[in-house]
């Protein structure tokens, strides 16, 4: 009679090894994309950085766009667990905060943290969109999704709490948040211009409140 327990153990071990290899490849790709950009990063370089063969890169993950997508996803989440961002602790704290002004501070914290982890990869994707059709479609889809997330996320909450500036329409507010949360903005101000994360966070909070909310009651 076959040893089903042993077979399950071997299968689990192989799955664990495959996941470690995949994680290793994606991490290597993320480092190279962040440092060199999309066009200058080759699959061979990723394989060498990860310590695997070129074939393993394609088998475990896929092409360069798939690698960049996964690297960005994992940088944003901080891990490779299959948990949606909206269900993660950081964003849940923002959503659960009842005071809209405190909520904006938490949102500024969240955006700054995300910028630190993802801005270089976001710029790599934007660069990839200029030379690769698949990357261009991904970049446009993610930009559309980012804008839509502002329309269904912070803006309706501000409207419901009667703190959206009367001279700013909900659609305008969504565009304001969409612009301010662009990872490229973090990269320009912190990485390129040398601002500290704290300075950027404070500035971002000021923009959220000044551009979209009525003055806070004293």
pLDDT tens column, 176-195: 999 999 999 999 999 999 99
Residues of each domain in the chain carrying CATH 1.10.357.10: 1-82, 83-218
Q: Answer yes or no: is pLDDT of 54 > 70.
A: yes
Q: Rounded mean pLDDT of 145-171? A: 94
Tokens, residue 78: 């901080």
Q: What average pLDDT does the chain have?
A: 91
Q: Where are the beta strands (DSSP E) in the chain?
A: none
| 1-82 is classed CATH 2.60.40.1120 | no
CATH number of the structural domain 83-218: 1.10.357.10
Tokens, residue 16: 């664990």
Q: Answer yes or no: is pLDDT of 200 > 90.
A: yes
Q: Picking from 6-15, 90-99, 161-170, 178-187, which range would have the lowest pLDDT averaged per residue?
A: 6-15
Rg over CA atoms, the chain: 21
DSSP symbol at 191: I
Sign of CA dihedral 140, 144, 145, 147: positive
Q: Answer yes or no: is pLDDT of 95 > 90.
A: no
Q: Picking from 88-97, 103-112, 199-208, which range would have the lowest pLDDT averaged per residue?
A: 88-97
Q: What is the pLDDT of residue 3?
A: 62
> String of b and e for 59-93 (b: at least 16 CB within 10 Å)?
ebbeebbbbbbbbbebbbbeeeeeeeeeebebbee
Q: What percent of the chain has pLDDT over 90?
A: 78
Q: Picking from 6-15, 67-76, 140-149, 166-175, which range would have the lowest pLDDT averaged per residue?
A: 6-15
Q: Picking from 15-24, 57-66, 203-212, which range would have the lowest pLDDT averaged per residue?
A: 15-24
């Amino acid at each position: 009679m076959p040893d089903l327990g042993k077979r399950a153990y071997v299968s689990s071990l192989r799955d664990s090894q495959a996941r470690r290899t995949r994680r290793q490849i994606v991490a290597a790709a993320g480092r190279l994309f962040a440092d060199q950009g999309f066009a200058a990063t080759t699959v061979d370089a990723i394989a060498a950085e990860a310590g695997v063969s070129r074939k393993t890169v394609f088998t475990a993950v896929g092409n360069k766009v798939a690698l960049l997508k996964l690297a960005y996803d994992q940088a944003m989440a901080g891990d490779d667990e299959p948990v949606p961002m909206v269900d993660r602790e950081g964003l849940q704290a923002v959503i659960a905060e009842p005071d809209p002004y405190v909520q904006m501070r938490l949102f500024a914290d969240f955006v700054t943290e995300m910028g630190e982890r993802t801005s270089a990869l976001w710029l790599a994707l934007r660069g990839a969109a200029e030379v690769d059709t698949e990357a261009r479609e991904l970049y446009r889809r993610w930009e559309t999704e980012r804008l839509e997330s502002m329309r269904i996320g912070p803006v309706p909450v501000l409207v419901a709490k009667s703190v959206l500036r009367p001279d700013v329409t909900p659609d305008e507010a969504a565009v304001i948040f969409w612009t301010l949360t662009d990872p490229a903005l973090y990269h320009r101000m912190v990485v390129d211009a040398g601002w500290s994360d704290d300075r950027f966070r404070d500035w971002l909070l000021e923009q959220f409140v000044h551009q979209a909310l009525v003055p806070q009651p004293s």
